[in-house]
Amino acid sequence: MGSFSVKPVKVGICGLGTVGGGTFNVLKRNAEEIARRAGRGIVVAQIAARDTNPKCDTGATPITADVFELVNNPEIDIVIELIGGYTIAKELVLKAIENGKHVVTANKALIAVHGNEIFAKAREKGVIVAFEAAVAGGIPVIKAIREGLAANRINWLAGIINGTGNFILTEMREKGRAFADVLKEAQALGYAEADPTFDVEGIDAAHKLTILASIAFGIPLQFDKAYTEGITQLTSADVNYAEALGYRIKHLGVARRTEAGIELRVHPTLIPADRLIANVNGVMNAVMVNGDAVGSTLYYGAGAGMEPTASAVVADVIDVVRALTTDPQNRVPHLAFQADLLSDHPILPIAECQSAYYLRIQVQDRPGVLAKVATILSERGINIESIMQKEAEEQDGLVPLILLTHRVTEQSMNDAINALEALADVSGPVMRIRVEHLN
Ligand code: HSE
C-alpha cells in the first residue's frame, strides 16, 4: 500500500450522540480504507460535546463543551454538525462557513427549513455543505439523484423516509400492537426524533421530502408548502381492512411533477401489497425515483441508527476531502480508490469461497442410505441445516433427497459431492445450488 505524503485533513465533530458517536467510530475503524479512497488521511482533531458517549472510545481526541470553540479552531478544515435542531445548529453552521470551513451535516430540519440561506452563504464563501445523511440515513439517495440520475428529467419520487413511523405501522400490521406501545420501543431503540411528534405527524418525513424534491426538480427548498398528515389516526382495523383488500398502509412522502406544479405531500397511503416498496418493513427506509430515461428505480436500506447514518456522514467527508485534494477531472477516482493505492488483496479461487448449499441427490429408497450420505458430509465438516425426502417420482426405486447445509468452502463441498456420486446408492450427478441468505 502507498503512503500519504499530503498531510491529513482535520475534521471536528459537533455532537457525540447516536450519529456523532457512530461517525467517530467509523472514521477510526476504517481509517486506512477511508484514506485509500480519499487520498489523504482524515483525523478527528476535536469533538464538541456536552456528554461522553459510552459506545464511543474517543481516546486522546480533545473534547470541548463549546461548539463555537471547535468552529473557530483554525486547525479544522471540515466541521461535522451532528447536534440537530434549528437554532444552535444554524448558528454554528453559518459561523463555520463564515470561517471558510466546509460543513457536513445530517440535519434534515436545518437543511429543509434554512437550507436556501445556508447554501447562499456557502456559495459566497466558496465552501461545500454536504448533507447526504439528512435523508434516509445510510441510503445514498441524494448522490443517486444528484449524480447517478443526472441525465433524467425526474417525474416523481415516493419514499418511506421515516423509520420510526414505518416501524410502528409494521408492528401494528404484523403483531396487532398498539400505536403508543410501539412508539415507546422506537424511542428506546434510538430511532425516534427528540420530539417524536416529528416522526408520527410526518414532519420529519416532510423535511426529507422537501430536500429530495429540490434536488429532483431543481427548485428552492420549500418546507412550508409541504402537505403533512400523520399516522396517529390510523387504527389496527384500517391496517387489517387494507390487508384484506391486497394493500399495505405506508406513511409515504410523494413528490410529483405535474403540468400545473409540484405535488409535495406526506400522508398514510395504501400501496398494492405486491409492490417491492410495500414490503419495506420495520425501521427500514426506501425511496423510489422515476426518471424519464431510467424509468423507476428503488433505493433501500437503514434510514436511521448509529452507523448507517455515520456511513452517509463519512461518505460526505470523503467527498469533501476528494474535492480538496484531487484535480477536478478526477474528483471521484475511477475505481473509487486512489489509483496508486489499489490493494493487492487476492481474489479467491472458487474452491476457497464459502457458501451454504442446496443439494438434490437421487438415492435408492432403502435402509441405511441416509446414514451414508450424512456420514460423507460430517466427515468433511459439513453441517446439515435441513433435510427433506420426497416420495419416489418414478418406478425406478429412486427418491430425491433434498439437503440444505450450513456454510462450507466450495472445496469441501466438491469433495463431498464426489464421494456422494461414487456411492452405489446414488444415481446420476448431485444437483448443487449455492444458497446466500443475504442477512
Ligand atoms: N427519526 C428519524 C426516523 C431518524 O425515524 O427515521 C432518521 O432521520
Ligand 1 atom nearest residue 106's Cα: 8
252 CA to centre of ligand 1 in angstroms: 14
Query: 241 φ, ψ to 5°?
Result: -65, -45
For residue range 223-259, what is the model confidence (pLDDT) as tens digits? 999 999 999 888 888 888 889 889 999 999 999 999 9
Ligand 1 atom nearest residue 199's Cα: 1
For residue range 356-390, what is the model confidence (pLDDT) as tens digits? 999 999 999 999 999 999 999 999 999 999 999 87
Amino acid identity of residue 53, one-letter, is: N
pLDDT interval class at 3 (50, 70, 90): low
* Residues flanking ligand 1, CB < 6 Å: 137, 162-164, 191-193, 199, 204, 303-304
Q: What is the pLDDT of residue 393?
A: 65
Question: 363-390 burial by CB neighbour count: b if 16+ within 10 A, else e?
Answer: bbeeeebeebbeebbeebebeeeeeeee
245 CA to centre of ligand 1 in angstroms: 29
Dihedral (CA of 205, 211, 214, 217) sign: negative
For residue range 291-334, what is the model confidence (pLDDT) as tens digits? 999 999 999 999 999 999 999 999 999 999 999 887 765 677 77
Q: What is the pLDDT of residue 222?
A: 95
- Please list the helix, strand and coil fractions of the chain in percent, rounded to the nearest 5, in that order: 40, 25, 35
Mutate to test the pocket of ligand 1, among 19, 131, 199, 306 (most ligand atoms within 8 A of CB): 199
Distance CA 221, CA 48 (A): 29
Q: What is the pLDDT of residue 9?
A: 97
For residue range 274-290, what is the model confidence (pLDDT) as tens digits? 999 999 999 999 999 99
Query: 244 φ, ψ to 5°?
Result: -65, -30
pLDDT interval class at 18 (50, 70, 90): very high
For residue range 415-434, what is the model confidence (pLDDT) as tens digits? 999 999 999 999 999 999 99
Cβ atoms of 268 and 251 within 8 Å: the answer is yes
Question: 132-157 burial by CB neighbour count: b if 16+ within 10 A, else e?
Answer: bbbbbbbbbbbbbbeebbeebebbbb
Query: What residue owns the CA closest to ligand 1's atom 4?
Result: 304
Q: Regarding predicted confidence, which is higher, 353 or 29?
A: 29
94 CA to centre of ligand 1 in angstroms: 24
Look at residues 314, 115, 103 and name the one whose alpha carbon lies nearest to residue 211: 115
Q: What is the pLDDT of residue 76?
A: 98
Average pLDDT of the segment spanning 102-111: 97
Query: 3-class SS at 306?
Result: helix
Parallel, antiparallel or unpaired: strands 354-364 and 426-435: antiparallel
pLDDT interval class at 50 (50, 70, 90): very high
Instruction: State the residue for C-alpha cell 421530502.
Output: 209
Q: What is the pLDDT of residue 1?
A: 42
**What structural domains and CATH numbers belong to the chain?**
9-137+307-340 (3.40.50.720), 141-302 (3.30.360.10), 354-435 (3.30.70.260)
Percent of the chain with pLDDT over 90: 79
End-to-end CA distance of the chain: 31
DSSP assigned state of 326: S
Distance CA 343, CA 341 (A): 6
Cβ neighbours around 37 below 10 Å, total: 22
- Kindly report whether the global pTM for this prediction surpasses the value 0.85: yes
Distance CA 48, CA 100 (A): 19
316 CA to centre of ligand 1 in angstroms: 19
Q: What is the pLDDT of residue 394?
A: 65
Q: What is the pLDDT of residue 425?
A: 95
Percent of the chain with pLDDT over 70: 97
pLDDT exceeds 50 at position 400: yes
For residue range 55-102, what is the model confidence (pLDDT) as tens digits? 999 999 999 999 999 999 999 999 999 999 989 999 999 999 999 999
Distance CA 212, CA 119 (A): 16
Q: Which three cell numbers stand for residue 193?
A: 426524533
Ligand 1 atom nearest residue 193's Cα: 1
Q: Which residues are catalytic?
A: 208
Q: What is the pLDDT of residue 2?
A: 47
Q: Which three cell numbers stand for residue 259?
A: 403540468
pLDDT interval class at 5 (50, 70, 90): low
Instruction: State the residue for C-alpha cell 433524467.
Output: 152
